[in-house]
Structure 1
Amino acid sequence: MKTIQTVMAISFLVVSPVALAEGGADRVFGRMLQSNEKAMAQYAEAQGKAAPAVKHYKYGMTLDISKVVSVTPSSSACGVVPARMTYEDSRGELHTIEYRVQGFGCPHGG
């Protein structure tokens, strides 16, 4: 009986931070994307260019990428998460594309 209680307590301690991290991930990604959007608006202003509007990537979309300006960092979350890339096209115009990537924080079975 004592062993079961110990296992349950350890499971609760291990699962609780994971659940909290999953629940807080949306807020973290929201802040990260807002920060990126603000930084890209400042970059555009400093370059004398129009701030890019965020476009959502669709499979097969053609992108004219001449220079990558910024890419949001990969996530340590487990699951599919949003990411953004801001780039200049061949005419020097700025674009920001939002897409989904797989986080690399998933535990590996073994």
Structure 2
Amino acid sequence: MTVFGMKPVKVICAAALLLPASLSMAENEGRPSADSKELEEMVIYSRAPEVRDYEYGMRLDIADVVAMEYFPPEPDFCGVIPAQMTYEDSSGNLNTIRYLYPETAGCHDN
């Protein structure tokens, strides 16, 4: 079993990315520091690719989904909403695709 269910290569990459940030925070004691969630988002978005729009029939090479985001205008919306998925391909590159998602949380049959 690997650390926290992660593959060894990912553990090494995560440690290499987080080590400079932790050293920087140690040098800057007394200043407010980011919590672990903010650090994780900083690491993900610091290497986030340009967002591309999905086109019908586009071939996607999805090895691992990193993040899914949905943008409903209100909590119980019923209809099509914009969404985006950030994923890692089989070469280890990050990609982000924007697409339309059918939101059904607010849909009720009367």
TM-score, with length taken from structure 2: 0.52
> How much has 1:43 moved relative to structure 2?
1.0
1:60 paired to 2:61: no
Residue 103 of structure 2 corresponds to 103
> How much has 1:108 moved relative to structure 2?
1.9
- With over 3 angstroms needed to count, the CA separation of the structure-2 counterparts of 1:89 and 1:52, relative to structure 1, is same
Q: Which has the higher helix share?
A: 1
Does the 8 Å CA contact 1:44/1:51 hold for their aligned counterparts? yes
Structure 2: gaps (5+ residues): 1-39
Q: How many correspondences in the alignment?
A: 68
Does the 8 Å CA contact 1:41/1:52 hold for their aligned counterparts? no
Find the residue that maps to 2:92 and give its secondary structure: coil
Residue 43 of structure 1 corresponds to 44
Q: Distance in 1 between matches of 2:41 and 2:95?
A: 10
- With over 3 angstroms needed to count, the CA separation of the structure-2 counterparts of 1:40 and 1:98, relative to structure 1, is farther
The one-letter code matched in structure 2 to 1:43 is I
Does the 8 Å CA contact 2:85/2:96 hold for their aligned counterparts? yes
Q: Distance in 2 between matches of 1:57 and 1:82?
A: 11
RMSD: 2.3
The one-letter code matched in structure 2 to 1:99 is Y
Find the residue that maps to 1:43 and give its secondary structure: helix
Instruction: State the identity %.
Output: 43
1:11-47 CA distances to partner (integer Å, 9 max, x unpaired)? xxxxxxxxxxxxxxxxxxxxxxxxxxxx8664153xx
Residue 78 of structure 1 corresponds to 78
Equivalence map 1:13-28=2 (5 Å): none
The one-letter code matched in structure 1 to 2:81 is V
Greater C-alpha radius of gyration: 1
